[in-house]
Amino acid sequence: MQNSFYREIINDHNLRPLHKHMLPRAQRELRGVNPSCGDDITLRLTVRDGVIEEGAYTGDGCAISQASADMMLDLVLGKTTEEALHLADIFLRMIKGGASAEEIGELEEAGSLIDVSHMPARVKCAVLGWHTLQNLLGEE
């Protein structure tokens, strides 16, 4: 994450997150933890007619884990659960180095985390929110 442009995006989402708060009316919530490094988030969603109407997270962890969850919510709010799972799939493949440039474009700002694919130690941090989203929506 040496490219200062990406560093700025991550810092911004980490220090001034839009979606890091409680969601009192959440229908579902799921906690995601990286036991080895201590990243810990709880994702909360409200889904109506197959659309993610509201979403937020709480927790603590490194900047990448928190910023990634914040960007994810930016992206999936207002989308159908199907679209959200499709985007999570692209994100996870991008981190493993297996997504096309066109697909990464669909991720909008979250695509800036592509640098993490070259940083094996940070992969778990970047994917925590997305795995939690997959598990949460997979409960249906």
Partner 1 sequence: MDVKAVRRDFPLLSGGSSLAYLDNAATAQKPEAVLRAIRDFYETSNANPLRGLYALSQRATDAYEEAREAVRDFIGAGSAEEIIFTRNATESLNLVAYSYGSLLQAGDEIAVSVTEHHSNLLPWQQLAGRTGAVLRWIECDAAGIITEDAFRSALSERTRLVAMAQVSNVLGRENDIRTFARIAHEAGAVFVCDGAQSVPHMPVDVRALGVDFLAFSGHKMCGPMGIGVLYGRRELLEKMPPFLFGGEMIEYVTREGATWAELPHKFEAGTVNAAGAVGLKAAIDYYRAVGFDEIVRREEALSELAYRTLAGIPHLRILGAPEGAEDSAVREGAGAERHGIFSFTLDGVHPHDIAEILSADGIAVRAGHHCAQVLLQHLGVSSAARVSLAFYNTEEEILRLGESLRSVRRRMGYAE
Binding site for partner 1 (CB under 8 A): 1-2, 7-8, 11-12, 14-15, 36-38, 40, 60-64, 122, 125
Residue 33 DSSP SS3:
strand
CB of 15 to partner 1, least distance (A): 5
Of 74 and 103, the one with the shorter C-beta distance to partner 1 is 74
Of 7 and 31, the one with the shorter C-beta distance to partner 1 is 7
Of 37 and 51, the one with the shorter C-beta distance to partner 1 is 37
CB of 3 to partner 1, least distance (A): 11
Count CB neighbours of 115 within 10 A: 17
Residue 31 DSSP SS3:
strand
Nearest in space to 28 (alpha carbons), one of 61, 52, 3, 4 = 52
CB of 64 to partner 1, least distance (A): 8
Q: In whole angstroms, how far apart are CA 67 and each of 34, 41, 82?
A: 15, 11, 23
